[in-house]
Amino acid sequence: MTTLPLPVDLPEAAVNANAQVVLAKRYLMKGPDGSPLEDVRGLFWRVAAAIAAEEAKYGNSPFAPEDLARRFYDLMVGMRFLPNSPTLMNAGTPLGQLAACFVLPVGDSMEEIFDAVKFAALIHKSGGGTGFSFSRLRPKKARVGSTGGVASGPVSFMRIFNTATEQVKQGGTRRGANMGILRVDHPDILEFITCKERENELQNFNISVALTERFMQAVEKGEDYDLIDPRDKAVVGRQSAADVFSLLVRKAWESGDPGIVFIDRINRDNPTPALGEIESTNPCGEQPLLPYEACNLGSVNLAVFHDPAAPDGIDWAGLTETVHLAVRFLDNVIDASRYPLDQITDMVQANRKIGLGLMGFADLLYLLHIPYDSTEALKLAERIMDTIQGESKSASKALAAERGPFPAYPDSIFGKRNLGPYRNATTTTIAPTGTLSIIAGCSSGIEPLFALAFSRHVMDGEKLVEANVHFVNAMKEAGAYSDSLMEEVTRKGSIAHIGMLPDALREVFVTAMDIEPVWHLKMQAAFQKYTDNAVSKTVNLPNDATQDDIREIYRLAYELGCKGVTVYRDGCKAGQVLCTGDGA
């Protein structure tokens, strides 16, 4: 609980009207009658004080708790950095579960399956999302020794998880989110790939197929590959890799599901292989984790670091300082968090993974007048992420000197190669920042804007109308702003086809749909190069994109070192979260 009283001289938070709505509805602590117990300042102070309070137990902290709480407060209200939603909602409250990402093992027995259902329910209740690999489950129709019956297979068990999720609204504030993963060499893989083809099926799941190097090679060579029974690793069949790949592509073309993850690549980057193999990621795919592992995320808002006076328009010193403070913040979150299971507490404490990422990248590009789909933008992406990665590592090293390395360090890849010691097994992850970006009033993650002006459906059918402020300013500066033009932009979302506007504006103010799919992927790869964990990114395709386009994106994702890909073909699924007038 909050240990420091609210100082009277705290600055107000710089939140816009949309952020106010979201914060009031889901983030402010409420009393039994639903009335708020705090205002926005109170929220950020509650979080800052609770996270700073962890400092006291490390006798040699360079910060006094109140001083650090103020620094954390300034970091958040200045919208330079925000921790993931569960931290904002639950820090300093009796619930105290602060991580967004969990992975739970699903073993091949009734006990283990239903344990996982129960554990997932507890995590959803606390605001976290869960990822599972169903690859250990025996295939459909395999014999069940104890009853003499036959097994129903991974997909039918996923439906149980899905139904349980439906019943548990996450802490009353977030709907449960799940990732379901199956290895491509599981005998039930075809059923899995098509398991979401009927509308409303497995709605609380994102699904991804774990592609192995072996499979990718078989696709390239046009060969068959082995299907393996997970229980005894026996080869129980063979099928054409190209056919499976084509089915994957077709389903992704039809509905966006499933995505793919390159599981061997993910395991090559597993920092603690001695603790186990990575089988799954969190729901949105950006955080691969070991079974029973959790991770808290946080994001720097790049738009705030635009500095017109700096030679290249970016306040690098400010960014560096923020990264260092953010790493201390996220490391403290690990200690402040109460996890729903002892196994999770043990695993989290052993690895101390954190995931610092960013949001507001598209805003920064607008401010710098750099088109998203340009080599210059790719170079900037690399430079920014190289900085965040490098500074987060040096911050984690400094924390290790102060507090000791993460306990699993000696057996980790860093320990074995004498790199480090670090305080955290990983430091960087790029999250979607779906809600955080609304709170910060910036573009989400590394995504381009979906539309320059649009209406957004949030919570209970409420509608928020937004126009990008940098776009509006640039239009005004160019003398091109008018109400009728803005109406047209809201209808279309994009200015690509508004011929009366200068080319320079149309090149810079691009939206997701204006950008060639390959640029989406190149951008993902540019950020992945300097990210420990993975990068949340959707490769948007126009409605008339072909299956071959998706095939090419998958091939390129593999070639460019991505850890997975999610594609989305415009209009292929009903009920898009974001919608423009014409497009939806």
Q: Which residues bind ligand CDP (CB under 6 A)?
A: 84-85, 100-101, 128-129, 174-175, 177, 282-284, 286, 297, 431-436
Q: Helix %, strand %, coil % for the chain, to 5?
A: 45, 15, 40
Q: How far is the CB of 105 from ligand CDP (least distance, A)?
A: 17
Q: Which stretches of 467-562 are DSSP H helices?
A: 469-477, 483-492, 503-508, 517-528, 547-559
Buried-exposed string 481-496: b where 16+ CB fall within 10 A, e elsewhere = eeeeebebbbebbbbb
Pairing of strands 178-183, 129-133: parallel
From the candidates 282, 301, 468, 540, which is the catalytic residue?
282
For residue 311, the tally of other CB atoms under 10 A from its CB is 7
Q: Are 353 and 298 in contact (CB under 8 A)?
A: no
Instruction: Choose between 433 and 490: whose C-beta lies nearer to ligand CDP.
Output: 433
Closer residue to ligand CDP (CB): 177 or 367: 177
The SS3 call for residue 176 is coil
Separation of alpha carbons 168 and 166, rounded Å: 6
Smallest distance from ligand CDP to CB 62, Å: 29
Pick the catalytic residue from 55, 279, 286, 466. Answer: 286
| 286 annotated active-site | yes
Least Å distance, CB 279 to ligand CDP, is 16
Could you give the C-alpha distances from 435 to 440, 453, 464, in angstroms and in order?
Answer: 9, 18, 13
Q: How many Cβ atoms are within 10 Å of 385's Cβ, its own excluded?
A: 23
Pull the structure tokens for residue 564: 């997975």
Active site residue 572: no
The residue number whose beta carbon is nearest to ligand CDP equals: 129
- Residue 129 or 415: the one with the smaller Cβ distance to ligand CDP is 129
Minimal distance, residue 439 CB to ligand CDP, in Å: 8
Q: Of 106 and 284, which CB lies nearer to ligand CDP in the complex structure? A: 284
Name every residue whose Cβ is closer than 8 Å to that of residue 143 and which is 6 or more positions away in sequence.
149, 150, 151
Which helix (H) or strand (E) is 342 found in, with range? helix 342-351
Least gap, CB of 553 to ligand CDP (angstroms): 21
* CB closer to ligand CDP out of 85 and 531: 85
8 Å CB contact between 73 and 48: yes
Q: Are 576 and 584 in contact (CB under 8 A)?
A: yes
Residue of 58, 59, 145 lying closest to 110 (CA atoms):
145
Which is closer to ligand CDP, CB of 446 or CB of 541? Answer: 446
Q: Are 261 and 281 in contact (CB under 8 A)?
A: yes
Least CB distance from residue 558 to ligand CDP, whole Å? 22
- Least distance from ligand CDP to the Cβ atom of residue 170, Å: 6
Q: Which is nearer to ligand CDP, 420 or 445 (CB)?
A: 445
Q: Which two tokens stand for residue 104?
A: 């739970």
H-type helices in 110-256, by residue range? 110-125, 153-167, 189-193, 213-221, 241-255
* Residue 160: CB minimum distance to ligand CDP, A: 19
Q: Catalytic site residue 282? A: yes
Contact 84, 298 (CB under 8 A): yes
3-class secondary structure, 291? coil
Nearer to ligand CDP, 26 or 183 (CB): 26
What minimum distance in Å lies between the beta carbon of 435 and ligand CDP?
4
> Which of 101, 195, 284, 295 is labelled catalytic?
284
Residue number with CB closer to ligand CDP (419 or 459): 459
Q: How far is the CB of 434 from ligand CDP (least distance, A)?
A: 3
Give residue 28's region: left, alpha or beta (phi > 0; psi -120 to 50): beta
- Give the three-class secondary structure for 417: coil
Comparison of 351 and 433: residue with beta carbon closer to ligand CDP: 433
In this structure, the strands spanning 293-301 and 174-175 are unpaired
Contact of 506 with 495, CB cutoff 8 Å: yes
Cis check: omega of the bond before 7, within 30 degrees of 0? no
Would you name the residues annotated as active-site residues?
Answer: 282, 284, 286
